[in-house]
A and B are shown apart, each in its own frame.
Chain A
C-alpha cells in the first residue's frame, strides 16, 4: 500500500480522479456577506439583551448601587483622588520649603559643611592628588569608588536601552536565530530602505556640520585632557564629544557614520575603556587600602602630564560617556548603530 498522505487532496492524481468521477469541488465561495450578516445579528441580540439587562437593573436596588459605583462612582472617586493628590503635593512642597528656613545659612562661616574635610581638600588637595582642579581631584582620588559606580550607571543605562530597542543588523540576526536565507534577504532590504529613507540632503546642516564638528571634537578632547587643570573632566568632555558625534550623524546619516563608528567600534571602546578603568581603580584602591606605595609619580601640578592616574581615568571615562551618548541617540532613532 502506498503511504497515506495528509495532503492527498492537493495531489494531481486525486484531482484527476475527481475530475473523471465528475464531482469536482465547488469554487471557494465568498463568505464575507454571510459573516457580516452574522456579526450584525450578534450585535442586535446583544443590544436587546443589554436592554433587558438595563430594565432589570432599574428594578433592583442592588443593581442600582452597582451601576452608580460603575458610572458616577468612578467619576466621584477620580475627583476626590485628584484633589487629594494635589493637596498632598502642596503639603510636601510647603514642608520642604519650610525646611529650607531651618537649614544652616548657605555660605556662612558656621555651616557644618565648613569642617575639617573641606579644609583638608582645600589645603592639601593639590599636593595629595596632583590635580589643580580640586573637583576632579576630589571625585577621582578621594571619592574614586563613587565615580567608578557612576560610570557603571551610564553603562548599565545604555544596556537597558539596548534591551528595550536593540534590533541587530540582518547578518548578525541570521547567525543568531538561524533564519532562512529568504528572510535575511528581506530583512537586509528593509534595513537598506531604512537607511535610504533618511534625508541626508540638507545642505545648510551639512555645511555647518563640516565646519563645527571638528571644532566640537577638538574642544571635547581639550576638556578631557585638561580635566585636572581647568574645569571639566571625563563626564563633561565625553558629553561634548558625544554631541559632536550626534551632530555628524544627523547631518550625514547612518551610512557615513558607520564608516568609522559601528557596533564593533562601540563594543571595543566601551569594553576597553570600562575594563581599563576597573583595573586602574582596583590597583589604586588595593594599594591605598593595603598601605602599598602606588609608585605612580604625581608630577608637577599644573603641567599637562601630571596628577598620576587622573589623566588616563578622565580619558577613559570621556570615551565611555561619548559612546554612551551616541548609543542612546542611535538606539532611539534606529534601533541599531
Chain B
C-alpha cells in the first residue's frame, strides 16, 4: 500500500492531538500550532487529491485491523479530496484574515480555548467528508456542533450567549433526529457502513418489507441535517450566530460548518440510499420546495435588516436554499451544481465576513448600514473585498457566484419535469434580483463619500491584505477556471456509487 493513503487519516488525527495539547499552551503558541496543523492538513489533502487523480479510482482505508463490515473505515475519492483541500484553504484564510479581531475580541486567557475549538472543528469537518461509516459521521457531528457552539459564544457578549443557546437547542434537536434515523436504519439493515447499508436497502426495496421505516428514517435524517445547516424554515438560530461572532468565527461558521453537514447528506443520498430510491419516496421534491422557499424568503429577510452583518447572515439562508434546490432537482447536473455552489458560497461568504469586519473598524464594530457609509475609503482593501464578495453573491460574470448560477440553470433544463424547470428558472431570476437589491445597495452605500468626514484611514494590516486578496483570487479562479473543478466533481460523483 502506498504511504500516501495514510494521509487522510493523519489529517483527521493531527488536529485531534493538537486540541488537547493547545489547552496547556499560551494563546500565541496555540495559534501557531493551530495554523501549522491546518496548513499541514491542507497540504496532505492536496497530496491525496493528486494521488487520487493519478490513480483515477477511489480507495478505502481501514481504521484498524478489521475490514469493512466489522470495523470503521474511511473512503477517499476525488470529490472528498477536493472538498477537504478547499475547506482547509478557506479555514486558514479566514483565520489569517480575522487574526487582528481574534486578538481583540477574545480575552487573552481564553485564546487557547478558541484554537482548541478550531482544531476539533477541522478534524470533525475532515471526518465528515471522509467517513464511510454512518455512526462515525454521527460522532463527528457531535464534535462539530459543540465546537461551533464554542466558537459562537467565545466573544462573551450577551448576544453571543443568547445566539449560542439558540444554536445549541436547535442543533441538538437536529442531532437527535439524525441519531433516531440512524438507529432505525441500523435496525432494518443491520449495518453501519455505507456500502453494506446500501446493499441491504436495495434488497429491502425490492422485497418491500421495511419500506415504511426506511421512509421515516430518510425523512428524519433530512430534517435533522436541514435544521443543522439552516434550511429555510429552520434558520431561526442562524442570523444571531453568524452576525455577532468574532470575525474568524463567523467566516468559518458560515462557509464551512453547515457545508460539512451538507456533504454528509450528499453521501447519505448517493452512497447509502441511492438516487432512484430517493426519487421514489419523493424526498427530493420536499427538499426542492423548501430550497426554493429559502432562496426567496432568505433574501427578503436580508433586505429588511439594518445591521449589515445580519444581512450577510440572512443571505446565507438564501444560498443554502440554492444548494438544497440542486438536491431537489435530483439529476447529476443538479447535484454537481450544488457541490460547486458549496465551494463558491464558501469562498464568497468568508470574504464578505472578513472584509465587513475590516469596514467596521471605524465604527466601534457596529455594522449598522448608516455608520458604514463611506467606510470603504477608511479601509481600502476591505472595501474592495466587500465589493467583490457582494458581486460574486449576486452573480456577476467572471466571479464564482455567476458560474454556479449558470450551472444551476443548465441543470434545470435537464430536470425531469417541466414544472421543476420553470420554477427553478423563475426562482433563480427572482433570487438574483433580490440579492442585487441588498448587496449592490450596500456596495454603493460603503462607497458613498460623506462630507466633513474624519479623514482617518485604518491600517488593514498585512494579514487582512493577504487574506482578502487570496479570497478574491479564489473567487476569480472558481468563476473563470471552473471547468477542471467541474470535471473533478463529475468524476468524483461517478466514483460515489
CA–CA, A115 and B216, complex, Å: 23
Give the contacting residue for A156; candidates B66, B108, B147, B216; CB below 8 A: B147
Main secondary structure of the interface of A (DSSP, over half): helix
Inter-subunit contact A112/B64 (CB<8 Å): no
Chain B residues with CB under 8 Å of A267's CB are 23-24
CA–CA, A173 and B120, complex, Å: 26
The yes or no answer to B384 lying at the interface (CB within 8 A) is: no
Give the contacting residue for A145; candidates B17, B63, B65; CB below 8 A: B63
CA–CA, A113 and B189, complex, Å: 7
Min CB gap A242→B, angstroms: 18
Chain A residues with CB under 8 Å of B127's CB are 149
The yes or no answer to A144 lying at the interface (CB within 8 A) is: yes
Inter-subunit contact B63/A289 (CB<8 Å): yes
Task: Tell which of A121, A141, A143, A144 has the most Cβ of chain B within 10 Å.
Answer: A143
The yes or no answer to B191 lying at the interface (CB within 8 A) is: yes
The yes or no answer to B113 lying at the interface (CB within 8 A) is: yes
Contact A278 B1, CB 8 Å, known A99-B184, A145-B63, A156-B146: no
Contact A289 B64, CB 8 Å, known A113-B187, A152-B120, A168-B109: yes
CB 8 Å contact bits of B215-232 with A (1 = contact, 0 = none): 010000000000000000
Q: What is the number of residues of chain B that contact chain A, defined by CB distance less than 8 Å? A: 59
Chain B residues with CB under 8 Å of A148's CB are 16
CA–CA, A177 and B111, complex, Å: 13
Chain B residues with CB under 8 Å of A278's CB are 13, 16-17, 20
Chain B residues with CB under 8 Å of A153's CB are 139, 142-143, 146
The yes or no answer to A13 lying at the interface (CB within 8 A) is: no
Chain B residues with CB under 8 Å of A18's CB are none
The yes or no answer to B116 lying at the interface (CB within 8 A) is: yes
CA–CA, A115 and B200, complex, Å: 11
Give the contacting residue for B190; candidates A98, A99, A117, A143; CB below 8 A: A117
Within A242-299, the residues touching B (CB, 8 Å) are 267, 270-271, 274-275, 278, 281-282, 284-291, 294
The yes or no answer to A38 lying at the interface (CB within 8 A) is: no
Q: How large is the interface on A (under 10, 10 to 19, 20 to 34, 35 or more residues)?
A: 35 or more
Interface-lining segment among B68-76, B437-445, B447-455: B68-76
Chain A residues with CB under 8 Å of B116's CB are 156, 159
Interface residues of B (CB under 8 A from A): 1, 5-6, 9, 13, 16-17, 19-21, 23-24, 61-66, 69-72, 107-110, 113, 116-117, 120, 123, 127, 133, 135-136, 139-140, 142-143, 146-147, 149-150, 153-154, 161, 180, 184, 186-191, 200, 210, 212-213, 216
A-B contact pairs, 22 of them (CB 8 A): A102-B210, A104-B187, A104-B210, A111-B187, A111-B190, A113-B186, A117-B69, A118-B190, A128-B66, A145-B136, A146-B72, A146-B133, A148-B16, A152-B143, A155-B20, A156-B147, A160-B150, A177-B109, A278-B13, A282-B13, A285-B64, A290-B1
